[in-house]
Amino acid sequence: MRIAEVIGSLTLSSMHPTLKGYRWLIAAPFSLQGLRDGKADGEEFVVLDELGAGMGQKIAVSEGVEAQMPFYPNKKPLDGYCAIILDQVQLSNEGATS
């Protein structure tokens, strides 16, 4: 699971029949340094959204086979699923000296 920021949405004119009626987002993932800096710094990707995430919100994204699990036992051809809308992300001071 990765943390990403919603940077847009998209509309598909042609898709696999099992994906009709869903909402699609464009998300930019964070690296650990990106989370510290507050700026998404990964390569953007497309995510299926059933939760209603909005622009600029941080989300947790399931990928690969795990992205299909909310639809089990049915299978859907998708790579990313918006599993959580995050209110806050808090990082510990790992490696900090006191």
Mean local confidence (pLDDT), 66-89:
92
CA distance 68 to 47: 12
User: CA distances (Å), 46 to each of 28, 34, 83, in order?
Assistant: 9, 19, 13
0.75 surpassed by pTM = yes
CA distance 40 to 90: 15
Closest to 24 in 3D by CA, of 1, 48, 3, 4: 48
* pLDDT confidence of residue 41: 96
Provide the pairing of β-strand 23-29 with 58-63: unpaired
* pLDDT confidence of residue 98: 47
